[in-house]
C-alpha cells in the first residue's frame, strides 16, 4: 500500500526534533482496531448527566471497565475531577437537554477542563436532537448551535482525537450502543466533526464479536484498495462475502476470496447482463450490498471527450442505480438489507478536472437520500460513505503538490487508510444500523474540502 513518508519521518526520533525545530505540524500515528480486540474502549470513559447519558450508562460496562461520572452518587461510576482523576480515552456529553441559548455555556463548562485531560486518539461523542424534529424554534436553534460547536471542537482537538454529534430521535435510544461501539473505538479513527441522525429501528446486533454473522455481502471493485479492505472487514465481522471485480483483476480477486473463505465473481458491473449474473450467483439472496467500484477519468470540461464522460457516469452512477433496482425487483435484496454507496468528498465540494467524477459521486448521494424513504417499509437502509484522501493506487497517481495538500488539509493532518473506510461500511452494514438511512458519512479526518 502507498505510504505517507512524512508521518513516518515526523514520528521518528530524529524527525521529531527536526520537525519541531522548523515548526511543522506532527500528525499523530492514529490508533486502529486490531483483530482480536474485544473492548471498544481501552481506557477511561466519562459520561455526563442527562436522559440520553443515563441510557448510555446502562451498557457502558460492555464498552469499558472504567467509567466515570460528574456526580459523586452514580453507582459503579466514580466522580471524575479534572487534575485529580485519570486521563480520559472517551467522553460522552448529553446535550439533548439544551433548549435555550443561555444553556450553551454548559458545553464550555464541561469541555474546557476535559480537553487538557484527554489521552492520545481520544473519542468524544455529543448526543443531541435533530433541530428539524423540534417544534420550539429556540430549542431547534440551540440544537443547531451544538452542531456548530462540535465542528469547531473537532478542529481544536489534538493528537488524533475526534468528536462527532449524534442526533437521537425519540425511541432510537436502543441503537446508541452500536453507534458508540463504532464512534468511541479506533474503528472511527479517521472520522471527525460529523453529524449523524439515529432513527427508530427495531433490529439489534446479537453477537458484538461477530456483528455480521449469517449475513451475505457483495462488494464491487474488491480486488484491491478500499474494496479489498471492505471485503476483509465484513468477513472479519462474520459476513459471507462475494467479491466482484473486472475480469482483468481475476487473479487478485480469486486469491483474496480464497483467503477470506468467500466467493469471487469476475464481472464488469456495466455489462448488459450484470444483474442477471448477480442473481444467479446469489440464489439465497443478499443482505449487504456495497457499491464500491469506481473510476476516475480526469479532464477539464473543455477537454472532456464523450467516452471519458460516459465511462465515469456509467460505472460510478448508472450501474449502481441499475443493479440496485434489479436486485430489489428480482427479490435478491432481502428485507432489512443494508446498501452502501461509495461517494467521495469531491462529490460534495466539486473538483477542478473532475466534472464527470463529481457529478457521479454527488448523484450517488442524491440516490441514497431519495431511495431511503422508499425502502423504509422493507427495513432496508441505504447510505453513502464519502471518503476524503485515502492512501490507495487512486491517490498515488495524483501530482505531488495536490497529493500533499489533499493529505494534510484536514483536522488529523494525514490521509486515511482503506481500513478506515471499510470500518465505516462494516458499521453501516450491521442490522442495528438501520437507524441510519439516507445519510452521508464522511471518512475524511474532517477535511476542509466540501465541509
Using CB under 6 A, list all residues that contact ligand NAD: 220-221, 223-227, 245-246, 249, 268-270, 292-295, 315, 342, 344, 387, 389-390, 392-395
Choice between 103 and 318, CB closer to ligand NAD: 318
Which phi and psi (to 5°) does residue 149 adopt?
-60, -45
The answer to whether 82 touches 116, Cβ cutoff 8 Å, is yes
Supply the minimum distance, in Å, between the C-beta of residue 279 and ligand NAD: 17
Supply the minimum distance, in Å, between the C-beta of residue 291 and ligand NAD: 8
- d(Cα 92, Cα 107) in Å, to the nearest integer? 12
Closest CA to 361 of 234, 289, 450: 450
Supply the minimum distance, in Å, between the C-beta of residue 1 and ligand NAD: 10
Choice between 153 and 257, CB closer to ligand NAD: 257
* Strand partners for 242: 218, 263
Choice between 250 and 376, CB closer to ligand NAD: 250
The answer to whether 296 touches 344, Cβ cutoff 8 Å, is no
Q: Give the residue numbers annotated as catalytic, written as ranges.
A: 357
The answer to whether 333 touches 344, Cβ cutoff 8 Å, is no
- d(Cα 169, Cα 425) in Å, to the nearest integer? 22
Closest CA to 164 of 450, 443, 449, 448: 443
Quote the Cα angle for 346-422-213, to 5°.
Answer: 145
- d(Cα 445, Cα 413) in Å, to the nearest integer? 8
Quote the Cα angle for 74-78-81, to 5°.
Answer: 115
Choice between 22 and 401, CB closer to ligand NAD: 401
Choice between 40 and 387, CB closer to ligand NAD: 387
Torsion of CA 37, 389, 251, 294, to 10 degrees: 120
Burial of 331 (0-12, 13-18, 19+ CB in 10 A): exposed
Cα dist from 227 to 1, 13, 179, 239, 292, whole Å = 13, 35, 23, 15, 6
Supply the minimum distance, in Å, between the C-beta of residue 259 and ligand NAD: 16
- d(Cα 347, Cα 124) in Å, to the nearest integer? 27
Quote the Cα angle for 384-142-114, to 5°.
Answer: 80
Supply the minimum distance, in Å, between the C-beta of residue 225 and ligand NAD: 2
Supply the minimum distance, in Å, between the C-beta of residue 221 and ligand NAD: 3
Supply the minimum distance, in Å, between the C-beta of residue 319 and ligand NAD: 7
Choice between 110 and 389, CB closer to ligand NAD: 389
Strand blocks (E) in 132-172: 162-168
Choice between 254 and 336, CB closer to ligand NAD: 254
Amino acid at each position: 500500500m502507498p505510504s505517507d513518508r512524512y508521518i513516518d519521518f515526523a514520528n521518528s526520533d530524529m524527525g521529531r526534533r527536526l520537525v519541531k525545530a522548523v515548526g511543522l505540524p506532527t500528525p499523530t500515528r492514529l490508533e486502529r482496531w486490531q483483530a482480536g480486540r474485544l473492548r471498544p474502549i481501552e481506557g477511561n470513559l466519562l459520561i455526563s448527566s442527562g436522559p440520553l447519558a443515563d441510557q448510555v450508562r446502562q451498557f457502558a460496562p460492555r464498552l469499558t471497565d472504567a467509567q466515570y461520572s460528574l456526580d459523586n452518587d452514580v453507582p459503579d461510576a466514580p466522580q471524575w475531577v479534572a487534575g485529580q482523576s485519570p486521563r480520559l480515552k472517551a467522553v460522552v456529553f448529553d446535550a439533548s437537554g439544551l433548549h435555550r441559548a443561555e444553556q450553551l455555556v454548559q458545553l464550555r463548562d464541561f469541555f474546557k477542563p476535559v480537553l487538557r485531560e484527554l489521552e492520545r486518539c481520544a473519542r468524544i461523542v455529543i448526543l443531541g436532537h435533530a433541530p428539524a424534529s423540534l417544534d420550539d424554534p429556540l430549542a431547534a436553534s440551540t440544537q443547531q448551535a451544538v452542531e456548530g460547536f462540535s465542528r469547531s471542537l473537532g478542529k481544536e482537538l489534538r493528537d488524533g482525537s475526534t468528536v462527532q454529534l449524534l442526533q437521537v430521535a425519540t425511541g432510537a435510544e436502543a441503537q446508541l450502543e452500536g453507534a458508540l461501539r463504532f464512534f468511541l473505538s479506533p474503528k472511527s479513527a479517521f472520522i471527525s466533526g460529523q453529524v449523524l441522525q439515529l432513527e427508530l429501528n427495531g433490529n439489534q446486533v446479537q453477537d458484538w464479536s461477530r456483528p455480521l454473522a449469517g449475513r451475505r455481502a457483495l462488494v464491487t471493485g474488491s480486488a484491491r484498495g478500499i474494496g479489498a479492505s471492505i471485503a476483509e472487514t465484513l468477513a472479519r465481522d462474520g459476513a459471507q462475502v462475494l467479491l466482484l471485480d473486472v475480469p482483468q483483476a481475476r487473479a487478485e480477486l480469486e486469491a483474496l476470496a480464497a483467503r477470506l473463505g468467500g466467493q469471487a465473481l469476475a464481472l464488469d458491473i456495466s455489462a448488459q447482463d450484470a444483474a442477471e449474473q448477480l442473481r444467479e450467483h446469489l440464489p439465497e439472496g443478499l443482505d449487504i450490498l456495497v457499491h464500491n467500484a469506481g473510476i476516475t477519468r480526469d479532464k477539464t470540461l473543455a477537454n472532456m471527450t464523450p467516452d471519458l464522460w460516459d465511462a465515469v457516469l456509467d460505472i460510478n452512477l448508472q450501474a449502481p442505480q441499475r443493479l440496485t433496482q434489479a436486485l430489489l425487483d428480482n427479490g435478491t435484496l432481502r428485507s432489512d438489507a443494508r446498501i452502501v454507496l461509495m461517494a467521495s468528498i469531491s462529490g460534495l465540494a466539486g473538483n477542478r478536472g473532475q466534472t464527470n467524477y463529481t457529478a457521479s459521486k454527488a448523484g450517488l448521494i442524491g440516490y441514497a437520500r431519495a431511495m431511503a424513504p422508499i425502502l423504509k417499509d422493507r427495513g432496508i437502509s441505504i447510505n453513502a460513505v464519502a471518503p476524503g484522501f485515502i492512501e490507495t493506487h487512486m491517490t498515488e497517481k495524483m501530482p505531488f503538490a495536490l497529493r500533499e495538500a489533499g493529505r494534510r488539509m484536514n483536522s488529523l493532518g494525514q490521509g486515511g487508510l482503506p481500513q478506515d473506510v471499510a470500518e465505516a461500511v462494516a458499521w453501516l452494514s450491521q442490522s442495528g444500523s438501520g437507524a441510519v438511512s439516507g445519510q452521508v458519512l464522511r471518512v475524511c479526518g474532517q477535511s476542509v474540502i466540501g465541509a
